[in-house]
Structure 1
Amino acid sequence: MSVRFTTLLVLSLLTAITAAQPTSYCNPINIDYGYTPFARFAENGRHRTTADPVIVNFRDTLFLFSTNQEGYWYSADMSDWTYVHRKFLRDDKYQHDLNAPAAWVMQDTLYVYGSTWELDFPIWKSGNPTANEWEIAVDTLNVGAWDPAFLYEEEEDKLYLYWGSSNEFPLLGTEITLPELQTTGITRPIMLLHPQEHGWERFGEYNDNVFLPPFTEGAWVTKHDGKYYFQYAAPGTEFSGYADGVLVSSNPLGGFRYQQHNPFSYKPGGFARGAGHGSTFTDAYDNYWHVSTMVISVKNNFERRLGIWPAGFDEDGVMYSNTAFGDYPTLLPASAGGKDFTQGLFAGWMLLNYQKPVQVSSTFGGYHANYAVDEDIKTYWSARTGDAGEWLQTDLGAVSSVRAIQINYADQDVEFLGKTQGNRHQYVITGSVDGEEWDVVIDKRGNQTDVPHDYVELPAPVEARYLRIENVAMPTGKFAISGLRVFGTAGGERPDTVENFVVLRSPLDGETTRMASWMKWKQNPLADGYNIYFGKAEDKLYGSIMVYGANQYYFTGMDKADAYYFQIEAFNASGISERTQVTRVR
């Protein structure tokens, strides 16, 4: 470090104090994920994990509950999340806390309930959840409900429960009596999967494993414009294609029909993948969003994170969520400016250091340095220690305008099980235009919070070619990073429009009859990657797939009976190409 470091440190602290409120966030969302509480799930290494999220808007504050976190988070802006420690289950019986919890607002009260096949879980309620003030609303619900979800209809003063998680049995629904908070005793089957018709519901990473039926779970119901949108997850939480589909009905407990445009929440490519088992909520501006589970599944199939996507209903009542550039900087609700999210809320800052040169202080085993810039959350670089002074440096290739940085820590030789508190990540990031003189870009040496996916939007653009992150303190384990991701704008050329884009659909035979397409295109020498957009109408290309470092993709998530439309675009650190003309396949 140069002698300028101390002076620039003081200036950076002053800048941090006066920094403007962030206008963006980046998936996976940056919350203090707990570690798996189960030793049997940590045989290949202890790790952070949560899944099955539900977010509800209570008095214009968002409350987030998810699996095995011994508490919950709340946020007024979807950027800063405050954790509240609270165990809802009985300590004398359960090692863990809530699995796939349900949360809903009813008559100005927030309610919470956890998954169970037994009849010994209470329903909790609170009128002041930010202060952790809770009481038991009913000691036992008279049905065992795994993956529960509740829908309260204020106009009718009626409450409905939906639940189920199985690769054999249907998802179910029932009415809950008020004020008793018990079922009427009448349970109705809502839906089963149809993997013989819907490719994305088929089991496996590539929807091609037929040895095991797919799983359906994660019920959630949103009422919009007089219709009930029943959401469900398939085919398995460990797969990149883990997604949410939707059925529609005018009846809350029956008559649901498959929405033609499915899956509505889907993210099989990019840095962090998966967009299944979630919930749909509205922000303080009445905009719709969808939160769901993202996949890591390296140390255990249940190693997972959370992502939030802009969502909504189009003019024809089609429910969608937009995951295009879904793990790039995304605009926050306050800057959304409207309810039409069909074009997404991508902030426009490109990834500047994909597969660019890196240098490191040390390397542990086979966890090589380039894994920190390969846009795959499943791979990571690890230093030999977690000591202060370990570092990683990335070369952007040319001086660029840096707007935001995301630091995704990985778990290597961590010691914790379950939810731990008082953790903190401390680090400093410096930047240089020439590799000689270094300025402080981000200073978190005094940070007292746990930030496993820290995302920092800079108060003003910083010109740099080289960026170095230096470790100061880790909560546990070695200094390991799955993605040091630098976003901003670069000089140079953006790619031209993709040429020779061809989509070949599978024939009318075999196990994947009509449910798969092979896409190929001419490799663009300027492209880092490509976005493929698809849908069942030319003006409803709501599905998206991000592909890095290839000029082909085998898409196995198609519905058997429908025609499809496709477009593709190329992108690099300098920008995004024009999309191709729409291609129709019958």
Structure 2
Amino acid sequence: MNPIIQHKFTADPTVVAHHDTVYLYTGHDEAPADSSVYVMKDWLCFSSTDLLNWKEHPSPLKATDFAWAKGDAYASKVIQHGQKFYWYAAVTHADIDGKAIGVAQSENPTGPFTDARGSALISPLDTNGSNFDPTVLLDDDDRVYIFWGKEQCYYAELKENMIELQSPIRTIQLPEFQEGAHIHKRNGWYYLSYGYGFPEKVAYMMSRNIHGPWEFKGILNEIAGNCETNRPAILDFQGKTYFFYHNGGLEKGGSHHRSVCIDALYYNEDDTMQRVVMTSEGISG
């Protein structure tokens, strides 16, 4: 059933499939009741072999595990490359005004994760400080790309070591882009999904080349009830495709008390994606 985690407020999902197990990493909303600000100190980790029953693990990372950050455990992306897991996270920089992106690493999907650099991968000085919601793609040729941003979408290539930029930072113009980007690839197509408008729906673009041109394909997910934001994650697992997102569906939930959900995602014959049908039953239905 949705939301899939009932005992804590969770947001901004990112997922990894490893050895027949799915690892779900989420933000953790801890704002006081009726609050209109985000209070997010750490990230949470859950695992499942069937996407129905979830086991919680100790929190593998908090914002201040980046010694150069002062807090705010915002949206993130976890990816496996080789024998390590890399966690790209948006946090507030302690010494420079604005958001920054850090990268932590671990040899275990449940962590603990430690800062891989000792400094920001992307500093507020590299952009205008709007370094929100990173998403990372390991391409078929082993090149790695990171996308991120708020109101302006940025992207760059990463070095093979996963913790340094290989290329200059570039920009992409996305219609009504707010935040919450997610990049994935299928059948030679690149898909860039993101928070569209405000309150946020999820829309997506498609391209045959990571550098574009990108073509707008429309809405993928409608406004998630009782919540102004959304952040998608898309996973292929055991022959099916799943769409992770968040809403305000728990009791006392809302824009600052969010909850992760899962529903099925389907592709059309031309490789476009069908609009996701959000359900209270979730994939168990």
- Counterpart residue number, 1:377: none
Matches within 5 A, 1:147-186: 147-153=133-139, 155-166=140-151, 170-179=152-161, 181-186=163-168
Structure 1 320/244 Cα, relative in aligned 2: closer, same or farther at 3 Å? same
- Residue 66 of structure 1 pairs with residue 26 of structure 2: yes
Q: Which structure dedicates a bigger proportion of its chain to strand?
A: 2
Mapped contact 1:227–1:249 kept (Cα < 8 A): yes
Deviation at 1:112, TM superposition (A): 0.8
Q: Sequence identity, in percent?
A: 21
Q: Which residue matches 2:274?
A: 320
Q: Which TM-score applies when normalising by structure 1?
A: 0.40
Q: Secondary structure at the match of 2:63?
A: coil
Q: Which amino acid is the alignment partner of residue 136 of structure 2?
A: F
CA distance in 1, matches of 2:21, 2:162: 27
Structure 2 equivalent of residue 50 of structure 1 = 10
Structure 1 residue 312: deviation in Å? Answer: 3.0
TM-score w.r.t. the length of structure 2 is 0.78
Gaps of 5+ in 1: 1-25, 34-48, 195-214, 332-346, 348-586
How far residue 109 of structure 1 moved from its aligned partner, in angstroms, is: 2.6
| Equivalent residue, structure 2, for 1:116 | 91
User: Any residues of structure 2 matched to 1:22-101 within 5 Å, and which?
Assistant: 26-33=1-8, 49-68=9-28, 69-85=42-58, 86-90=60-64, 96=71, 98-101=73-76
Aligned-partner Cα distance in 2 for 1:157–1:103 = 16
Cα distance in 2 for residues equivalent to 1:289 and 1:305: 16
Query: Are 2:63 and 2:91, in contact at CA under 8 Å, matched by a contact in 1?
Result: no
Residue 209 of structure 2 aligns to which amino acid in structure 1?
Answer: N
- Secondary structure (helix, strand or coil) at the match of 1:330 reads helix
Deviations 1:262-302 (A, max 9, x none): 21122566xx778831111111x131111012136978642
The Cα offsets for residues 485-518 of structure 1, whole Å up to 9 and x where unpaired, read as: xxxxxxxxxxxxxxxxxxxxxxxxxxxxxxxxxx
Task: Note if 1:303 corresponds to 2:257.
Answer: yes
Counterpart residue identity of residue 23, structure 2: F
Larger relative contact order (Cα-Cα within 8 Å, sequence gap ≥ 6): 2
Instruction: Give me the whole-angstrom Cα distance separating, in 2, the residues matched to 1:246 and 1:137.
Output: 31
Q: In structure 1, give the amino acid aligned to 2:147.
A: Y
Structure 2 CA distance for partners of 1:328 and 1:142, relative to 1, 3 Å: closer
Query: 2:220 aligned with 1:249, yes or no?
Result: no
Q: 1:274 to 1:282 in 2, by over 3 A?
A: farther
Cα gap change, 1:329 to 1:258, in 2 (>3 Å):
closer
Q: Is the 8 A contact 2:261 2:282 kept in 1?
A: no
The 8 Å contact of residues 66 and 98 in structure 1, kept in 2 or not, is answered as no
Secondary structure at 1:184 match in 2 = coil
SS in 1 for 2:147: strand
Taking only aligned residues, the RMSD between alpha carbons, in angstroms, comes to 2.9
Partner of 2:80: 105
| CA gap 1:217/1:121 in 2 versus in 1, 3 angstroms | closer
Aligned to 2:180: 218
How many matched pairs? 257
Question: Which is higher, the Rg of structure 1 or of structure 2?
Answer: 1
Cα displacement (A) at 1:157: 1.3
Alignment match of 2:231 (pick from 277, 297, 309): 277
Candidates 190, 193, 204, aligned match of 2:175: 193
> Quick check: 1:29–1:307 contact (8 Å CA) kept in 2?
yes
Q: 1:185 to 1:82 in 2, by over 3 A?
A: same
In structure 2, relative to structure 1, the CA distance for the partners of 1:221 and 1:182 (3 Å cut) is same
* Deviation digits for residues 106-154 of structure 1 (CA, Å, limit 9, x no counterpart): 1243211210364876422223224x3444433334313311111112x
| 1:189 Cα offset (Å) | 1.3
Assess, with a 3 A threshold, how the Cα gap between structure 1 residues 177 and 244 changes in structure 2: closer, same or farther.
same
Matched residue, 1:403: none
Which amino acid is the alignment partner of residue 221 of structure 2? S
